[in-house]
Amino acid sequence: MSTKEQGRSLLSIKDTHEVCQNQLIYSIVAPELLSWEDVQLLAELSGCPTATKQNTCEQSRHSRYRTISGVCNNRWLPAEYEDGEGEPKGWNPERLHHGFQLPLAKHSTRGFYLNRGLYRLLIFWGQYIDHDITFTPQSISKSAFWTDVDCYQTCDNVHPFFPNNCKHLPGTNTDDSLCMPFHRSTADCYVSSGSDVQRALQRQQLNAITSYIDASLVYGHTPKLESFLRDLSGHSGKLAINDRFEDAKGRPYLPFVAKTPSACRTDHQGDRIDCFSAGDGRVNEGLPLISLHTLWLREHNRIAEALKLINDHWSPEMIYQETRQIIGALHQIITMRDYVPKIIGPESFERFIGLYTGYDPAVDPSASNVFATAAFRFGHATISPVLHRLNQSFQEHEQFPHLRLHKTFFSPWRIVKEGGIEPIIRGMIGTAAPAVSANMLLVEEVTEMLAVLDSLQHMDLASLNLQRGRDHGLPGYNEWREFCGLARIDTLEDLKVVLRDDRVAEMILNMYQHPDNIDVWLGGLVENYLPDGRTGPLFACLIGKQMKALRDGDRYDIPPDHCKLENNCLKT
């Protein structure tokens, strides 16, 4: 069952449930309204049963190579919804949480600053590798079932629409809207095991891609996409390249998407360069992503060519699969050796991840909801408002100068017509990210200028993160601190100790009124950094636990000391 089919199946169940409740005079909660047999019947009629079975992320334990697909997701703590089933915190504006109304997500991100710098490549590698691990699709419905209201024409909370209200917000740059559009994530089908109706009806989300660090964003996560990305005509085991453009030195670009015209931007003359195609559909979100994807396309083809030279008896399929295995191993090594320790700090790496002792079949490697929706979004606060493009002397490129970040969104034409990927790669490795401006949690480029292809309205990435956490029913900041063995925050003084910034602590508690109301993304984001790390204790714990699970639960994981390219990875 595809992700889209699964979303339709779950939507039909929710709609049926909503019809039943709307037809009743009395307020009846789900366990009283439906029996377990009713839930099973609804699942069968909707087409959900095939999706409710336990996912097997790697179907063959004896295959030399990975399968291309695997859809997995899990929760480390039970979901928290206002109605116990699926309505996110803040759905009913009048509902009190610990005696207080929740602040709007838009309000919660105004007035903070993070005075911290990172090298740009580290920042963009985080975004890149996140796209290898998680992708939560949005609801396929654009209008409310019960009222048939167009989601873009209302600021009301009607499934599957959960708009971010901007009313009375000082300092906003929005021109004519009182809310920012927000579509809820596609719901996963109900759990089929057990007989707990409340648990079965509780909304869960899905991860539409493989959760493993396996370079699925290079090769795709479905057989159809994998086939499209391969060069099946050359019998070389290589990936397909762009048949219209290459850089000045003859190096290839990514192929274009099959659908034309694509939704990517035109250049200054109005000429269209179509969107690039890669194993992950988010490749065109920015020039750094395009550059990294292009780099790995070229590396695959380089290694495939080298393998063919030293193993001329290998079939094209074997060349492709062996090269794919090497590229996947390189993604794992770079992430676990060079990236994660710098993010969570060496002490947290040793505590939560430690030395590799081998594959553990008892470990669940699927992506946790809190990791995908909150912890690994820490990098959004490290985005710079300027993309640096450097020449061979690592100075600003004379012909292709630096760009404001919003001008890099969905603009593959800049790769083709403005010097290729090299100036961007140099900018990522040769420039430190500056400190974020005071009084801004995220730079304006991503809070007010984030392009969305199907909407002319600007989106606020920080508010989206908070709203997405509520959409997914993530428990609050305190619950996750307790999960990680950290002290709960009970008073303003407790918060000041954790943040070590009295002003920010006072602002947060003034907005949320109660420590248990603090959203996990915001709370984790503003914690004081650990030594030699780029996150606080909470996110270090959540990221560390997830990365250990991804490593230890992956039968194909290759730790850094097991793979020396000159000795092992290229052996016949």
514 annotated ligand-binding residue: no
Nearest one of 251, 62, 69, 91 to 163, comparing CA atoms: 91
Reported as type and span, the H/E element at residue 459 is strand 455-459
Residue 402 bears catalytic tag:
no
Residue type, 501: D
* CA 64 – CA 321 distance, rounded (Å): 9
**Ramachandran angles phi, psi of 49, nearest 5°:** -55, -40
DSSP string, 346-360: HHHHHHHT-S-----
Helix (H) or strand (E) run with residue 455 in it: strand 455-459
Burial 456-487 (b: 16+ CB within 10 A, else e): eebbbbbbbbbbbbbbbbbbbbbbbbebbebe
Return the SS3 of 273. coil
Q: State the burial class of residue 401 (Cβ atoms within 10 Å of its Cβ: 0-12, 13-18, 19+).
A: exposed
- As a whole number of angstroms, the distance between CA 43 and CA 26 comes to 25
How many other C-beta atoms can be found within 10 angstroms of the C-beta atom of residue 356?
A: 16
* CA within 13 Å, CB half, 6: 23
Backbone angles phi, psi at 490, to 5 degrees: -110, -25
CA neighbours closer than 13 Å in the CB half-sphere of residue 306? 15
Which candidate in 17, 62, 107, 131 is catalytic?
131
Tell me 566's DSSP state.
Answer: I
Distance (Å, whole) CA 239 – CA 226: 9
- Residue of 360, 324, 335, 371 whose CA lies nearest to 559: 335
Q: Binding site, residues?
A: 380
| Residues marked as catalytic | 131
Q: Binding site for heme b, residues?
A: 380
